[in-house]
Chains A and B, each alone.
Chain A
Amino acid sequence: MLETLRPDPTFHPSARLAMEAEAEHIAYTVLLSPDQSRPDALVTVDVDPTSKTYGTVLHRLDMPHRGDEFHHFGWNACSSALSPLSGHPFLQRRYLIIPGIRSSRIYIVDTQPNPREPRLIKTIEPEEVFRKTGYSRPHTVHCGPEGIYISTLGGAGKDGTEGPPGVFILDCETFEIRGRWEIERGPQKLHYDFWWNLPRDYMVSSEWGLPPQFENGLVAQDLLAGKYGHSVHFWDLRDRKHVQAIDLGANHQMALEVRPAHDPVREYGFLGVVVDTTNLEGSIWTWYRENGQFHIRKTATIPPEPADAAQLPALLKGFGAVPPLISDIDLSLDDRFLYVACWGTGELRQYDVTDPMKPALAGSVRIGGIVQQAGHPNGKPFGGGPQMTEVSRDGKRVYFTNSLYSSWDAQFYPDGVPGAQVMCNVGANGGIELDPAFHIDFGPDYAAHQIRLQGGDCSTDSFCYPSA
């Protein structure tokens, strides 16, 4: 990889400077083929309102294999390269690292020289991942101090249950797997998301379930028995060891997305919990550090909505209600607004989290939903509900897709979840509304998962200097 003479202009020392940067022109979205009949793909979407091709797909890069199931992905380098400790911020935000969560294969895609037409430059085969890490089902990708950190949902063995899943390191220049990140994992046995506070030197990780608990769909017995993940883990980032675990209680099933405050001076962050098995509500939790100890508190709940059993999929018929199913949360770069995707009820909520201990509902839009099935303002239907959410750097636009995971889509939305990407505009003092002019329909053959914005976004970049 060519080194640069100056830091990449898309790297920003602080979140505030990132907010002042130029608006995004291109979004990258991963598509997957739910029936595995075609290869998964990376599409380039024009998000520049002044462009003639605004709101359309510019290019689709089909992968050479089938059945990868794209889920989360990330950049090879980001603002974290400006860490004063690295002393070497001359990487380029250029490559997208795209893991297949079902195949354990990892693709390296180059977005240069033409960012509209990225090219596949390297494929890391699953055997290499298994051999070098003992992990499987790669998931979240973050660029950090030692290279690219990739969390996994599975351990070794055919069904990924031999040994715990964890995080491994990929070299950010050669894309060689360097091996496991953890030196001491303590009681951690499950994995989902992770993120960190780089100057304060800690990492936070969350839990979903082991591959047999998600690959063929949600296992209702495991859910009711409290066997999905319900703990959050805190780690010493440099020493690569577990320092503290907090159990949220077995009724709080699936502690998924971890969103620390972007300003590293603020030592708190948010966690979304999919469902409380006692009352079907979803919840937002706020963790914080005080005198070296981590604490976590439930700070917002979203109740289920009563529904006629006839309108519910088999899994939910017995409950007579549709749960919000908080599948994603995302925090704006000024740490002011937290977006909460309620994939079950079909609602995207905006919370004002100026006081992180008291999130206040500031806006909401309805689209999709198991029962409500609200259409887009342009009149077109919308399958699934708000899912992976991406906030623009300036905080003025919120993009989201509608698919959760192929086998779960089929369980909760038996009529199918045709891939779509839409966008909300954000009011100056909060409030959100769907943009009628922006609606990308990827058709019935593809499901759409995560979105990345050219130049970085609110769920990729980590900043090493305060926004002060």
Chain B
Amino acid sequence: MGWPLAVANGMAQQRASAVFSTLLPLGGGHFMAMAVVLVPFAWLNWYVEWSRAIRLGAGVLVLLFGIFKLIARRHPRALARIRPTQLAWWSFLMATAHGAGLMLVPFMLGLCVAAPAPMDAFAAATARGVGHVSVMNYLAQSSVATAVVVAVVHTLAMMLAGLTMAWAVYRYLGLRFLRRAWLNLDGVWGWSLVIAGAAGIGMAW
């Protein structure tokens, strides 16, 4: 996302470095959009006994957001109020509005549960004479770490794809390509959320 912005920036300043200078704000904004959704869910996940309910709830939430996106196709007008210079803020709001962070929640919660193997950790901790609180702290940290890793990986993939696209259009393909390449992906986004939500529910069931 955001590659047309990178192209516009490069063309307006007539230098290639302006294309690259959008990378950090766009990536930063995208990362924040992932993190603000994933991290709270990761914190929730240390309530191990509620893990299944949380995963089911998250799956339903993602599914509902997908259905909402499929029905309410209009673009939020608030996104049009952002100044051309506020790239990170734009990227953050755009990713949030598309549910990019939310979409990863079922996947990320699956990783969180699999990673620490709660009963073994609990047994080991008890054996060392450490209390319940530290076990829970350990679980929370590992979940948050997983959330951050997921957000980072996703953001890096986004940055690489966006930069490749922006550079190709700026350097080789030209603005004409923009008209052809710009596809309406709102329906695809909506369906992706529905599928991710349904898969999350299925995995947790």
CA distance A365 to B179 in the complex (A): 38
B182 interface neighbour in A6, A12, A238, Cβ under 8 Å: A6
Residues of B within 8 A of A209 (CB): none
B1-18 at interface with A (beta carbon < 8 Å): 1-2, 4-5, 7-8, 11-12, 14
Q: List 10 A-B contacts (CB under 8 A).
A: A5-B183, A17-B175, A17-B179, A82-B4, A85-B82, A87-B79, A173-B74, A238-B81, A238-B82, A466-B11
Docked pose: A271 CA to B5 CA in angstroms:
30
Within the complex, which residue of B11, B94, B180 is in contact with A6, where a contact is CB–CB below 8 Å? B180
Q: How far is the CA of A465 from the CA of B14 in the complex (A)?
A: 11
Contact A201 B83 (CB under 8 A): yes
A86 within 8 A of B: yes
* 77-108 of chain B: CB within 8 A of chain A: 77, 79-85, 90, 94
* Beta-carbon contacts under 8 Å, A288-339 to B: none
Contact between A146 and B83, CB atoms less than 8 A apart: no
Q: Are B175 and A146 in contact (CB under 8 A)?
A: no
Tell me how far the C-beta of A284 lies from the nearest C-beta in chain B, rounded to whole angstroms: 27
In the complex, chain A residues whose CB is within 8 Å of the CB of B82: 85, 238
Specify the main secondary structure of chain B where it touches its partner. Answer: helix
Whether A89 lies near B8 (C-beta < 8 A) is: no
Scan residues 1-50 of chain A and give those whose CB is less than 8 A from a CB of chain B: 3-7, 9, 11-14, 17
Q: Is B198 an interface residue (CB 8 A)?
A: no
Known: A88-B75, A173-B74. A199 touches B183 (CB 8 A): no
Complex CA gap A90/B189 in Å reads: 15
Beta-carbon nearest neighbor of A178 in chain B:
B77
B161 shortest CB reach to chain A, Å? 15
Are A146 and B178 CB-contacts (below 8 A) given A85-B5, A90-B184, A465-B7? no
**Which single member of B77, B81, B84 contacts A199 (CB below 8 Å)?**
B84
Contacts of A147 in B (CB 8 A): 77
* B12–A146 touching, CB < 8 Å: no
B73 contacts the other chain (CB 8 A): yes
Instruction: Report B-chain residues with C-beta under 8 Å of the C-beta of A11.
Output: 179
Given contacts A85-B84, A85-B90, A468-B11, 11 further A-B contacts (CB under 8 A): A5-B183, A12-B179, A82-B178, A84-B8, A85-B5, A88-B184, A90-B184, A146-B80, A464-B8, A465-B11, A466-B11
Interface residues of A (CB under 8 A from B): 3-7, 9, 11-14, 17, 82, 84-90, 145-147, 173, 178, 198-201, 238-239, 264-265, 464-466, 468
**Residue numbers in A under 8 Å from B184 (CB-CB):** 3-6, 88, 90
Q: What is the bound-complex CA distance between A281 and B175, given in angstroms?
A: 43
CA distance A314 to B8 in the complex (A): 55
The smallest C-beta distance from B21 to any residue of chain A, in angstroms, reads 14
CB closest residue in chain B, given A13 = B175
Find out whether the CB atom of A6 lies under 8 angstroms from the CB atom of B77.
no
Which residues from chain A contact B81 at a C-beta distance below 8 Å? 145-146, 238
A322 nearest CB across to chain B (Å) = 45
Query: Chain B residues with Cβ under 8 A from A465's Cβ?
Result: 7-8, 11-12, 175, 178
Question: Given A84-B4, A468-B11: A145 and B80 within 8 A (CB)?
Answer: yes
Please name all residues of chain B whose beta carbon is closer than 8 Å to the beta carbon of A466 when the two chains form the complex.
11-12, 14
Expressed in whole angstroms, the minimum distance between the Cβ of B5 and any Cβ of chain A is 4
Shortest Cβ-Cβ A-B pairs, 9 listed: A84-B4, A145-B80, A84-B5, A88-B75, A13-B175, A90-B184, A84-B8, A238-B83, A466-B11
- Nearest CB of A to B28, in Å: 17
Please tell me if the beta carbons of B77 and A84 are within 8 angstroms of each other in the complex: no
With CB as the reference atom, state the residue of chain A lying closest to B166: A84
- CB pair A201 B79 closer than 8 Å: no
Q: For the complex, what is the distance from the CA of A238 to the CA of B186, rounded to whole Å?
A: 25
Taking A6-B184, A7-B182, A146-B81 as contacts, is the C-beta distance between A86 and B75 under 8 angstroms?
yes
Cross-chain contact of B14 among A4, A88, A464, A468 (Cβ < 8 A): A468
Q: Which of B2, B79, B179 touches A7 (beta carbons < 8 Å)?
A: B179
Tell yes or no: B176 within 8 A of A by CB: yes
Which residues does chain A contribute within 8 Å of B79, judged by CB atoms? 85-88
Q: How long is the Cα–Cα vector from A82 to B177 in the complex, in angstroms?
A: 12
Name the distance in Å between B6's Cβ and chain A's nearest Cβ: 8
State which residues 133-191 of B face A: CB under 8 Å: 175-176, 178-180, 182-184, 186
CB distance from A170 to the nearest CB of B (A): 12
Q: What distance in Å separates the Cβ of B148 from its nearest Cβ neighbour in chain A?
A: 26
Write the chain A residue with the least CB distance to B182: A7
Smallest Cβ distance from B74 to chain A, in angstroms? Answer: 6
Distance between Cα atoms of A25 and B28 in the complex (Å): 47
Roughly how many angstroms separate A468 CA and B7 CA in the complex, as a whole number? 12
Contact call B183/A6, Cβ cutoff below 8 A? yes
Q: Tell me the smallest distance from the CB of B26 to a CB of chain A, in Å.
A: 11
> Judging by beta carbons under 8 Å apart, are A199 and B182 in contact?
no
> B79's closest neighbor in chain A, by CB?
A87
User: Which residue of B2, B175, B180 is within 8 Å of A14 (Cβ)?
Assistant: B175
Instruction: Give complex CA distance A328, B120 in Å.
Output: 81
* Contact between chains at B1 and A87 (CB < 8 Å): yes
Compute how far the CA of A6 lies from the CA of B186 in the bound complex, rounded to whole angstroms.
12
Contacts of A17 in B (CB 8 A): 175-176, 179
Contact partners of B180 in chain A: CB under 8 A:
6
Q: How far is the CB of B120 from chain A (nearest CB, A)?
A: 46
- CB proximity of A403 to chain B, nearest CB, Å: 35
Residues of B near A178 (CB, < 8 A) are 77
A146–B77 contact, CB under 8 A?
yes
Chain A residues positioned under 8 Å from B186 (CB to CB): 3, 88, 90
* Nearest-neighbor residue (CB-CB) of A463 within chain B: B175
A14 to B73, CA, bound (A): 27
B149 nearest CB across to chain A (Å): 27
Taken together as a complex, chains A and B put the C-alpha atoms of A4 and B12 apart, in Å, by 28
With A and B bound together, what is the CA distance between A90 and B74 in angstroms?
10
